[in-house]
C-alpha cells in the first residue's frame, strides 16, 4: 500500500476532527474544558468511552496475544463487568453527591489535604505512564507503515501527532472529546468488523468453521483452571474487577467524562451500557486474533504478538482494507491520548495548582495557565514515548497492566479506606504509606518464586498493592 495514500487518509481524518473541535469549542470556558458544563449526553459518553477504554493497545495487542494466551483475556473482561457495576452504584453516587470536578477532592474531605494531593499525584503518574505506552504503540506502527518511507524520524512523527491532538483539544477539552471520541469509536469498530468479515471470506470459512479451526489450534480456550498459573480464571476475574475500579472509577480521565453527564441516573446508565458493549467488543477482538493466526498460517506470515495485525493488514490485504486498518488504528490512538492529556491538565490545574481556589487569578489568567499546563503535558508525553521506543517491548499490554498494578494500587487503598472505614489518618504520613506499598510489591514480585514456590503472581499484584496501602493507612489511623 502506498505510504502517500495512507498519509493522505490520516490528514483527511485529522481535518474532520478539527471541524468537530471547531463546532464544539465555541464560547468555551474552563468549566467546558474540565467537565463539559455537565451537559454531555450519556449515550454519546458511553459510546465514546468504548474507544477510550480499548485504545490502540487493545486494537493491536489483544488479537496478537491469542497465539500465546488463547482467549484468556476474556476472563479479565468478565471482571470488568463486576467492576463497572461497583463504579456505577458505589463510586458515582459519591462523586455526584459531592458535586466534584476532580474526583480526588473526595480524598481531601475524607482523609485530608495531603492525602488528596497524594491521590492526584498517583493518578498523574499512572495516567502519564499508561497513556504514553498506548501512544507509543500506535505511533510506532504509523512510523513503520507511512512516515519511515519519507525519511521522517520517529520523534518528529510523535511530535506532529501530539500537535494534532493539542490543536483539537486546546479550547474545548471534555466537551470536544465527548464528540470526537464518538466519531473515533465508530471508525474503530467499523474497521474491526470489516477486517473480521474480510478474513472469513478470504479463508472461505464460516463463523462456526473458524471457531472449530481455532479450537484445534488451541486459540479459543477461555477459562484456565490451574491455580498456580497467572491465567487462573479466579485471579483474572478478580484482577479485572479491580483494574476497572481503579483504572476507570478512580481515574480522573474516565470519570471526568462520566461526571460531565447531567444526572447520576444517566451516568449510571452510561456505565452499565459501556460494560455490556465492552464484553461483546473484546470478544470480537479475540475472535479477530484467532482469525489472524489462521490467516498467517495459510499465507506463511511469521509475525506474532503486536506485529501480526499491522503486518497482515498492510502487507497481505487489498489496499482498501489497509486504509480501513489505518483509519481504525488512528481512531484507537486519539481517544486514549486526547482524553489523557485533557484529564492530566485538569487534575494538575485543579488538584496540584489549585486553580479553582486561586481568587487572585482572573478567568482569563486561569485559562492561560491551564493552556500552558496543557502544552507542558504534551511535552512530557513526547519524552515518555521516546523512552518506550528505547525499551522496545514486543507486547505493550503486559507493560501497561504491570505499570497499573504498581501505580493504581495506592489509589485503590486510599479510596477503599475512605469509603469503608470511619477513621481519620495522620495526613502527613499518607505519602510514605503510598510510596512504601508499591516498593514492597516490587520485592514481592521479584522474589515471588522464593516466597510462594510454584504459585505465580499475575494481575492480582494490584490487589496486593491496594491491600498493603489499606493496612498502612490503618496503622496510621485513629477513631474519629
pLDDT digits (tens, 9 = 90+) for 107-119: 888 999 999 999 9
Does residue 203 have a pLDDT over 50?
A: yes
**Cα 33 from Cα 169, distance rounded (Å):** 9
Highest mean pLDDT among 236-240, 386-390, 435-439, 443-447: 435-439
Does residue 51 have a pLDDT over 80?
A: no
Higher pLDDT, 65 or 58: 65
Which residues does 182 contact at the CB level (< 8 Å), separation at least 6?
Answer: 44, 47, 48
- Report the chain's mean pLDDT, rounded to a whole number: 83
pLDDT of residue 261: 77
Going by pLDDT thresholds of 50, 70 and 90, the confidence category of residue 32 is: very low
Q: To the nearest 10°, the Cα dihedral for 352, 354, 44, 197? A: -20
Does residue 10 have a pLDDT over 80?
A: no
pLDDT of residue 302: 87
Read off the pLDDT of each residue in 231-256 and give the average, rounded to a whole number. 86
Residue found by looking up cell 481503579 in the block: 246
Does residue 397 have a pLDDT over 80?
A: no
- From 1, 7, 463, 480, select the one nearest 235 (Cα to Cα): 463
In SS3 terms, 40-95 reads as ECHHHHHHHHHHHHHHHHHHHHHHHCHHHHCCCHHHHHHHHHHHHHHHHHHHHHHH
* Residues forming beta bridges with residue 478, ordered by sequence position: 424
pLDDT of residue 36: 45
pLDDT of residue 127: 86
Read off the pLDDT of each residue in 3-23 and give the average, rounded to a whole number. 75
pLDDT of residue 467: 95
Per-residue pLDDT tens over the stretch 424-452: 999 999 999 999 999 999 999 888 888 88
Read off the pLDDT of each residue in 27-50 and give the average, rounded to a whole number. 55
**82-86, 247-251, 407-411, 417-421, range with the lowest pLDDT:** 247-251
- From 416, 43, 83, select the one nearest 258 (Cα to Cα): 43
In 8-27, which positions are buried (b, 16+ CB within 10 angstroms) versus exposed (e)?
A: ebbeebbeebeebbeebbee
Read off the pLDDT of each residue in 242-246 and give the average, rounded to a whole number. 90
**Contact call for residues 79 and 246 (beta carbons, < 8 A):** no
Does residue 45 have a pLDDT over 80?
A: no
> Nearest-5° angle of CA 214, CA 329, CA 324?
80
In SS3 terms, the chain reads as CCHHHHHHHHHHHHHHHHHHHHHHCCCCCHHHHHHHHHCECHHHHHHHHHHHHHHHHHHHHHHHCHHHHCCCHHHHHHHHHHHHHHHHHHHHHHHHHCCCCCCCHHHHHHCCHHHHHHHHHHHHHHHHHHHHHHHHHHHHHHHHHCHHHHCCCHHHHHHHHHHHHHHHHCCCCHHHHHHHHHHHHHHHHHHHHHHHHHHHHHHCCCHHHHHHHHHHHCCCCCCECCCCCCCEHHHHHHHHHHHHHHHHHCCHHHHHHHCCECCHHHHHHHHHHHHHHHHHHHHHHHHHHHHHHHHHHHCCCCCCHHHHHHHHHHHCCCHHHHHHHHHHHHHHHHHHHHHHHHHHHHHHHHHHHCHHHCCCCCHHHHHHHHHHHHHHHHHHHHHHHHHHHHHCCCCHHHHHHHHHHHHCHHHHHHHHHHHHCCEEECHHHHHHHHHHHHHHHHHHHHCHHHHHCCCCCCCCHHHHHHHHHHHHHHHCEEEC
**Cα 290 from Cα 74, distance rounded (Å):** 13
**Cα 276 from Cα 294, distance rounded (Å):** 28
**45-54, 130-139, 247-256, 261-270, range with the lowest pLDDT:** 45-54
Query: How much of the chain, in percent, has pLDDT values that exceed 70?
Result: 86
**Contact call for residues 461 and 445 (beta carbons, < 8 A):** yes
Per-residue pLDDT tens over the stretch 316-363: 888 888 888 888 877 766 656 767 787 788 788 888 888 777 777 777
Per-residue pLDDT tens over the stretch 268-317: 888 888 888 889 989 999 999 999 999 999 988 888 888 888 888 888 88
pLDDT of residue 136: 87
Read off the pLDDT of each residue in 195-222 and give the average, rounded to a whole number. 91
Going by pLDDT thresholds of 50, 70 and 90, the confidence category of residue 7 is: confident
Highest mean pLDDT among 122-126, 260-264, 363-367, 429-433: 429-433
**89-98, 172-181, 424-433, range with the lowest pLDDT:** 172-181
Amino acid at each position: 500500500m502506498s505510504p502517500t495514500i495512507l498519509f493522505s487518509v490520516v490528514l483527511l481524518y485529522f481535518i474532520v476532527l478539527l471541524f468537530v473541535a471547531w463546532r464544539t469549542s465555541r464560547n468555551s470556558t474552563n468549566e467546558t474544558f474540565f467537565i463539559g458544563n455537565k451537559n454531555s449526553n450519556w449515550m454519546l459518553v458511553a459510546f465514546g468511552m468504548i474507544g477510550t477504554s480499548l485504545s490502540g493497545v487493545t486494537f493491536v495487542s489483544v488479537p496478537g496475544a491469542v497465539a500465546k494466551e488463547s482467549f484468556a483475556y476474556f476472563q479479565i473482561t468478565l471482571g470488568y463487568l463486576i467492576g463497572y457495576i461497583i463504579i456505577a452504584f458505589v463510586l458515582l453516587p459519591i462523586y455526584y453527591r459531592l458535586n466534584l470536578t476532580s474526583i480526588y477532592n473526595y480524598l481531601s474531605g475524607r482523609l485530608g489535604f495531603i492525602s488528596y494531593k497524594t491521590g492526584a499525584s498517583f493518578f498523574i503518574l499512572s495516567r502519564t505512564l499508561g497513556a504514553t505506552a498506548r501512544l507509543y504503540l500506535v505511533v510506532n506502527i504509523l512510523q513503520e507503515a507511512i512516515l519511515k518511507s519519507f525519511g521522517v524520524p520517529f520523534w518528529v512523527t510523535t511530535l506532529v501527532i501530539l500537535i494534532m491532538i493539542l490543536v483539537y483539544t486546546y479550547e474545548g477539552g471534555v466537551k470536544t472529546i465527548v464528540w470526537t471520541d464518538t466519531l473515533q469509536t465508530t471508525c474503530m469498530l467499523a474497521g474491526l468488523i470489516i477486517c473480521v468479515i474480510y478474513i472469513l471470506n478470504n479463508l472461505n470459512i464460516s463463523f462456526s468453521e473458524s471457531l472449530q479451526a481455532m479450537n484445534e489450534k488451541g486459540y479459543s480456550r477461555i477459562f484456565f483452571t490451574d491455580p498456580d498459573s497467572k491465567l487462573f480464571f479466579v485471579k483474572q476475574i478478580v484482577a479485572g474487577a479491580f483494574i476497572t475500579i481503579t483504572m476507570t472509577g478512580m481515574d480522573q480521565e474516565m470519570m471526568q467524562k462520566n461526571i460531565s453527564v447531567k444526572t447520576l441516573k444517566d451516568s449510571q446508565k452510561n456505565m452499565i451500557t459501556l460494560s455490556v458493549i465492552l464484553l461483546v467488543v473484546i470478544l470480537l477482538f479475540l475472535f479477530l486474533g484467532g482469525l489472524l493466526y489462521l490467516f498467517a498460517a495459510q499465507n506463511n506470515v511469521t509475525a506474532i504478538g503486536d506485529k501480526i495485525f499491522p503486518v497482515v493488514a498492510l502487507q497481505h490485504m487489498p489496499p482498501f482494507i489497509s486504509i480501513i486498518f489505518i483509519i481504525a488504528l488512528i481512531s484507537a490512538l486519539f481517544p486514549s491520548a486526547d482524553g489523557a492529556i485533557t484529564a492530566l491538565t485538569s487534575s494538575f490545574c485543579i488538584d496540584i495548582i489549585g486553580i479553582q481556589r486561586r481568587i487572585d487569578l482572573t478567568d482569563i489568567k486561569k485559562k492561560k495557565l491551564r493552556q500552558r499546563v496543557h502544552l507542558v503535558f504534551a511535552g512530557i508525553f513526547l519524552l515518555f514515548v521516546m523512552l518506550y521506543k528505547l525499551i522496545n517491548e514486543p507486547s505493550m499490554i503486559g507493560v501497561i497492566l504491570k505499570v497499573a498494578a504498581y501505580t493504581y494500587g495506592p489509589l485503590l487503598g486510599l479510596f477503599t479506606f475512605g469509603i469503608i472505614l470511619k477513621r481519620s489518618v495522620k495526613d502527613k504520613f499518607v505519602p510514605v504509606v503510598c510510596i512504601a506499598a508499591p516498593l514492597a510489591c516490587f520485592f514481592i514480585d521479584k522474589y515471588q518464586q522464593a516466597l510462594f514456590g510454584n504459585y505465580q503472581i499475575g494481575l492480582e499484584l494490584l490487589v496486593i498493592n491496594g491491600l498493603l496501602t489499606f493496612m498502612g493507612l490503618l496503622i496510621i489511623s485513629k477513631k474519629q
